[in-house]
Structure 1
Amino acid sequence: MNVGTLLLGDPSPSLRWRAARELEGAKDEDAEVAAWRAEIDGSPEIEALVSRLVAAGPYDAGHLLCQLAYLGYRGPAMAAAAEKLFAVQQPDGSWSVPGPVEGPRFITMHTVVPLRGIAAAGFATDPRAERAYEWLLGVRLSDGSWPAGPKADLGQAGRPAPPEKEYRRLTRGLGCRSATTGAVACLAMHPERRRSDAARIGVDHLLARETRDASTIGWEVSRLAGLERAMGQITFYATFDLAFLLDLASRCGVSPQDRRIHDLVDYLESLRGPYGLWQHAVHPQLAGWLTLDLETSLRRLDDGDWIGNEEPAGFTPYQRGPHRY
């Protein structure tokens, strides 16, 4: 059975609308698609998220915009929230979330989360968003990865940033995997920057970790669908999610001929169920959303034309220190 047909029977109007447009090629003027569009904007789920968005600070607002965009909301609250975020943007293009005085003055994720939300809402090419993208490019490390805190000087000018913590360090790179994932997620939402060298080098760093953990596949989907809380600052993207990795790689134009992508797709296909659906390890009700996410990523790969660093890199789990008590 066609996967798209299965998803069109899902109870969620958001999932039906997206599956119709992204998998079945339906047009917005189609009667069913238009009906689902109206149902989305008036749903209690969307109304609750919009209410939270109105009162949210920059960090939460960024993620809420991603959620609303993922669920298909296109109402005026998106533009209003983007304007509120731009109103508190720093002159250099970044955002700064209030925190303890003794902590790092700048954290990459404080800009990544609002910027990804703005891009998801459709404002990636706004000049103010472009200034934030330029800030992101300006704080990259020499190998093209991103640090957790580009100016983590603890208040002292000229003090170098400390090395990244082992549990979120890139497999082959100087930077932080969580920060690099977030920065690439921002670039992947931009119509031109998604195919830039910066985006592809970032993806190349993420693809260097070739572990296969089925239990975390769909972690980002579960957060966007509202079944898991979005937590952490430096650790916001610390969970290694193969579905999210494929999404980013496909948006940034990585070719299906890249060995790592080829192997990743083979692994994910081995997990596909008998009816063509992928099951979420924790939330069975997310099977439709996870399947939509992976199917759209697989289709985008057909347009990929870039093969990155194919040299394998081993991965050793970080060593936990001895218990203090």
Structure 2
Amino acid sequence: MSIGALLLGDPSPSLRWRAARELEGADDQDAEVAAWRVEIDRSPEIDALVAELAEARPYEAGYLLCRLAYLGYGGPAMAAAVETIFRHQRPDGSWSVPGPIEGARFVTMHTVVPLRGIAAAGFATDPRAERAYKWLLGVRLDDGSWPAGPKADLGQAGRPAPPEKEYRRLPRGLGCRSATTGAVACLAMHPERRRSEAARTGVDHLLARETRDASAIGWEVSRLVGLERAMGQITFYATFDLAFLLDLASRCGVSPQDRRIRELVNYLETLRGPYGLWQHSSHPQLAGWLSLELETSLRRLEDGDWVGNEEPAGFTPYQRGRRRY
């Protein structure tokens, strides 16, 4: 039995609907798919998220849009929320977040999170979204990575920006791994920019970290389905999630022949269970969602045609202070 067929028996109508369409090749004319579509739109989970979306500020609304899109919702609340987010956009295409960390150009994530939500809702090519993409490309560092805050706003005039914190530093890049992950996630949702030089260079930086932390696999999925909170500003994407990395790489056209992708896939295959599913380390109920995520990424990789910088990069794990007792 295929993974898709196994997932069709899941209690979640969102997971059944996505598995039927993405793994089993069903279309919206299928009677069961149409019935699940109605069930999704009427579910208490979707109702709660839509109600929360109506009251959310642009930063929070951006990720709520990601969650709703991930669960298969496509109702009018999405377009209404996108318009609200655009009303708060600054003239240069960015967004700011009120609070102790002020300034649209101080924290890259303040623009990344709303933009990813806009793209997930299907508005990536809206002229206002394109202006945000141009802002995002304009704040890249010389090596193609993204800083936590663009270099023009870090440090004093005439002085170099301070290095990124060790725990989110890229192995062979100048930028922030969290910010670079978020920027690539935005580009990966754009129908044309997903295979651009900027997207692939960003993925290349992320693939340079070749650690294997099984406990973090599926972290992004757990947030998208609501089992973990989406928290942080600079640290929003600080967790190094191999499933999310594979998703981004597959969307940006990385070839399965890339050494790092090949070794990553081989590692993930060792974690596959006897029925072809992957188990989540903290939430057993996420096995279906995590398996959908990984299986979809593996199939998407087949269309990849780009190989990046495959030379191994040195990586030293974050050094914690010595215990006092």
TM-score of the aligned structures, taking structure 2 as reference length: 0.97
Q: Residues 105 and 151 of structure 1 are in contact (CA less than 8 Å); yes or no, is this contact kept in structure 2?
A: no
Structure 2 equivalent of residue 198 of structure 1:
198
Structure 2 equivalent of residue 176 of structure 1:
176
- Structure 2 CA distance, aligned partners of 1:34 and 1:101? 45
Query: Which residues of 2 match residues 270-309 of structure 1 at below 5 A?
Result: 270-309=270-309
Structure 2 equivalent of residue 129 of structure 1:
129
- Structure 1 CA distance, aligned partners of 2:173 and 2:156? 26
Q: Tell me by how many angstroms 1:102 deviates.
A: 7.6
- Structure 1 CA distance, aligned partners of 2:267 and 2:3? 19
- Structure 1 CA distance, aligned partners of 2:194 and 2:155? 34
Q: Residues 69 and 121 of structure 2 are in contact (CA less than 8 Å); yes or no, is this contact kept in structure 1?
A: yes
Structure 2 equivalent of residue 49 of structure 1:
49
Residue 59 (str. 1) matches residue 59 (str. 2) = yes
Query: Which residues of 2 match residues 245-256 of structure 1 at below 5 A?
Result: 245-256=245-256
Q: Tell me by how many angstroms 1:318 deviates.
A: 1.8
Change (3 A) 1:242 1:155: closer
Query: Which residues of 2 match residues 1-325 of structure 1 at below 5 A?
Result: 1-100=1-100, 106-151=106-151, 153=153, 160-321=160-321
- Structure 1 CA distance, aligned partners of 2:108 and 2:160? 15
Q: Which stretch shifts more, 161-170 or 181-190? A: 161-170
1:281-301 Cα shifts (integer Å, max 9, x gaps): 000000000000000000000
Change (3 A) 1:101 1:20: closer
Give the 4+ runs in structure 1 shifted more than 6 A: 101-104
Q: Residues 152 and 160 of structure 1 are in contact (CA less than 8 Å); yes or no, is this contact kept in structure 2?
A: no
Q: Tell me by how many angstroms 1:240 deviates.
A: 0.2
Q: Tell me by how many angstroms 1:110 deviates.
A: 0.2
Question: What's the secondary structure of 1:39's corresponding residue?
Answer: helix
Q: Tell me by how many angstroms 1:161 deviates.
A: 2.8
Question: What's the secondary structure of 2:289's corresponding residue?
Answer: helix
- Residue identity matched to 1:134: K
Question: What's the secondary structure of 2:316's corresponding residue?
Answer: coil
- Structure 2 CA distance, aligned partners of 1:28 and 1:102? 45
- Structure 1 CA distance, aligned partners of 2:268 and 2:123? 32
Q: Residues 105 and 150 of structure 2 are in contact (CA less than 8 Å); yes or no, is this contact kept in structure 1?
A: no
1:46-97 Cα shifts (integer Å, max 9, x gaps): 0000000000011110000000000000000000000000000010000011
- Structure 2 CA distance, aligned partners of 1:101 and 1:240? 24
Q: Residues 152 and 162 of structure 1 are in contact (CA less than 8 Å); yes or no, is this contact kept in structure 2?
A: no
Q: Tell me by how many angstroms 1:106 deviates.
A: 1.7
Question: What's the secondary structure of 1:212's corresponding residue?
Answer: coil
Q: Residues 155 and 161 of structure 2 are in contact (CA less than 8 Å); yes or no, is this contact kept in structure 1?
A: no
- Residue identity matched to 1:279: Q
Change (3 A) 1:104 1:45: closer
Q: Residues 187 and 194 of structure 1 are in contact (CA less than 8 Å); yes or no, is this contact kept in structure 2?
A: yes
Q: Which blocks of at least 5 consecutive residues in structure 1 are unaligned? A: none
CA RMSD of aligned residues (A): 1.7
- Structure 2 CA distance, aligned partners of 1:81 and 1:160? 38
Q: Tell me by how many angstroms 1:29 deviates.
A: 1.1
Q: Tell me by how many angstroms 1:105 deviates.
A: 5.4
- Structure 1 CA distance, aligned partners of 2:100 and 2:220? 28
- Structure 1 CA distance, aligned partners of 2:133 and 2:105? 19
Q: Tell me by how many angstroms 1:125 deviates.
A: 0.2
User: How many residues get paired?
Assistant: 325
Q: Residues 94 and 105 of structure 2 are in contact (CA less than 8 Å); yes or no, is this contact kept in structure 1?
A: no
Change (3 A) 1:154 1:290: same
- Residue identity matched to 2:296: T
Change (3 A) 1:157 1:91: farther
Q: Which blocks of at least 5 consecutive residues in structure 2 are unaligned? A: none
- Structure 1 CA distance, aligned partners of 2:252 and 2:44? 34
1:171-212 Cα shifts (integer Å, max 9, x gaps): 110000000000000000000000000000000000000001
1:89-143 Cα shifts (integer Å, max 9, x gaps): 0100000111226889521000000000000000000000000000000000000
TM-score of the aligned structures, taking structure 1 as reference length: 0.97
